[in-house]
């Protein structure tokens, strides 16, 4: 699971120099904490995982599990009272922890980008969508000639299923699904190696959700990027991800291929999440009561396991790790 050692100097080397099985992102022993009245509280505790080239990695957990703090840490967006207390985050060999604002500039958008949760607040409400995408492009590629830039923006919008008309639209003129597509267009504008999608469809209706999810997967494939899909909807994860990591109380309690985790969950908390989605296949009142009871039992079992300190991950199946004693 270890990426090879790289110095800062060759970190900028082209992707071709690297072995294809090098992870795009490796997170090692990450600790993120927040100051509170009762001292520092760890939101992310000794987190280690990697994202491989062109894969979609799902990071799941309930509210407060640390998944959003992990995303923020990777993007260099942890602000006081939050702090990265320890660990390493490396993007294609570049160490991301402790980089200055200046050092982040060539990385954000170009090498790593974000599709935020609830696109409503992510777009600048007083700027036309086209201008916003244009700004992101020019901030990295320098001034462009107007016609060429417009052509590029239109192509980007079309690649996410939006029409040319959207270039001149303000965010409030777009539906939730269209706004989320515009955010995807912005995230892929500079063809980054890694896209972090933070609950990208959580506010959308089921039909629009599927459409946006399909668009994200199509553009990801086209530019060969890896994706971290953060979420709590296990149904959506099953549809989209190659591998899955389950976070519980700031720790990773299970990780492995999606099929393994859905069909053979080892940690009680993973089993809880996997079976918490009501199925439209079979079952009636009795099974719901059973499911509620089982969910409470599993929650208690996960809580019990955590009491003595969550153990480190151990191999429990093919490429499948779980934090079990």
Partner 1 sequence: MSTDGRTPADARTPADANGAGNPDAPLLELRHVGKAFRSGRGRKATSLVALEDFSLTLDGSPPRIVALAGESGSGKTTVANLVLGFLTPTHGEVLYRGRPVAQLRGRSGTGFRQEVQAITQDPYSAFNPFYRVGRVFDTVIRNFPLASGPEDARAKVAQALDFVGLSPERMLDAYPHQLSGGERQRVMVARAFLLRPRLIIADEPVSMVDASIRATILELMLRLRNELGVSFLYITHDLSTAYRIADELIILRRGQVVEAGDPRTVIEHPQHPYTRLLMSSIPIPDPDHRWQGRIAELQAELNEDLEVPA
Sole binder of partner 1 in the list 11, 77, 288, 315 (CB under 8 A):
288
State residue 65 phi and psi, 5-degree precision: -80, -15
Contacts with partner 1 in 163-192 (CB under 8 A)?
176
Q: Going by DSSP bridges, is the β-strand pair 243-248/251-257 parallel, antiparallel, or unpaired?
A: antiparallel
210: contact with partner 1 by CB under 8 A: yes
Contacts of 2 (CB under 8 A, 6+ apart): 26
Neighbours of 311 (CB within 10 A): 14
Q: Which is nearer to partner 1, 13 or 290 (CB)?
A: 290
Distance of closest approach, residue 311 Cβ to partner 1, in angstroms: 21
Q: Which is nearer to partner 1, 30 or 253 (CB)?
A: 253
Of the candidates 77, 69, 73, 75, which has an alpha carbon nearest to the alpha carbon of residue 43? 69
**Which structure tokens are listed for 224?**
């060969």
Q: Which DSSP letter does residue 23 get?
A: -
Distance of closest approach, residue 324 Cβ to partner 1, in angstroms: 19
299: contact with partner 1 by CB under 8 A: yes
Query: Given the rule CB under 8 A, which of 68-76, 129-137, 180-188, 202-210 is the region that contacts partner 1?
Result: 202-210
Distance of closest approach, residue 237 Cβ to partner 1, in angstroms: 8
Q: Is 249 left (phi over 0), alpha (psi -120 to 50) or beta?
A: left
Segment (H or E) for 35: strand 25-36
Sole binder of partner 1 in the list 165, 168, 222, 296 (CB under 8 A):
296
Residues in the chain: 325
Q: Which is nearer to partner 1, 98 or 283 (CB)?
A: 283
Sole binder of partner 1 in the list 149, 190, 211, 316 (CB under 8 A):
211
Contacts with partner 1 in 50-79 (CB under 8 A)?
62-63
Q: How far apart are CA 15 and CA 263, in angstroms?
A: 35
Distance of closest approach, residue 204 Cβ to partner 1, in angstroms: 9
Q: How far apart are CA 254 and CA 247, in angstroms?
A: 8
| Interacting residues with partner 1 (CB under 8 A) | 62-63, 161, 176, 205-211, 213-214, 232-239, 258-259, 262, 272-274, 276-281, 283-289, 291-292, 295-296, 298-299
């Amino acid at each position: 699971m270890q990426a090879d050692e790289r110095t800062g100097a060759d970190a900028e080397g082209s992707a071709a120099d690297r072995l294809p099985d090098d992870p795009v992102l490796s997170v090692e022993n990450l600790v993120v904490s927040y100051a509170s009245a009762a001292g520092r509280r760890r939101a992310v505790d000794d987190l280690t995982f990697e994202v491989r080239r062109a894969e979609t990695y799902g990071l799941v957990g309930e509210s407060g599990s640390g998944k959003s703090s992990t995303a923020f840490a990777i993007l260099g967006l942890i602000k006081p009272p939050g702090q990265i207390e320890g660990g390493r985050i490396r993007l294609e060999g570049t160490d991301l922890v402790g980089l200055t604002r200046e050092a982040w500039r060539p990385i954000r958008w170009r090498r790593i980008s974000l599709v935020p949760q609830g696109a409503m607040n992510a777009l600048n409400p007083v700027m036309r969508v086209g201008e916003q995408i244009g700004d992101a492009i020019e901030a990295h590629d320098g001034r462009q000639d107007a016609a060429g830039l417009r052509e590029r923006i239109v192509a980007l919008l079309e690649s996410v299923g939006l029409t040319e008309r959207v270039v001149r639209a303000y965010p409030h003129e777009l539906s939730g699904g269209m706004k989320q597509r515009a955010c995807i267009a912005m995230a892929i504008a500079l063809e980054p190696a890694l896209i972090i999608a933070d609950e990208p469809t959580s506010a959308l209706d089921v039909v629009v959700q599927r459409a946006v999810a399909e668009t994200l997967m199509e553009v990801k494939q086209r530019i060969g990027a890896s994706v971290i899909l953060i979420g709590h909807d296990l149904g959506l994860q099953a549809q989209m991800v190659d591998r899955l990591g389950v976070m519980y109380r700031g720790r990773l309690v299970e990780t492995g291929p999606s099929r393994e985790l859905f069909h053979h969950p080892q940690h009680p908390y993973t089993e809880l999440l996997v079976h918490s989605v009501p199925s439209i296949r079979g079952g009636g009142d009795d099974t719901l009561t059973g499911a509620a009871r089982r969910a409470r039992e599993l929650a208690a079992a996960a809580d019990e396991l955590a009491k003595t300190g969550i153990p480190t991950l151990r191999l429990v199946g093919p490429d499948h790790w779980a934090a079990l004693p």
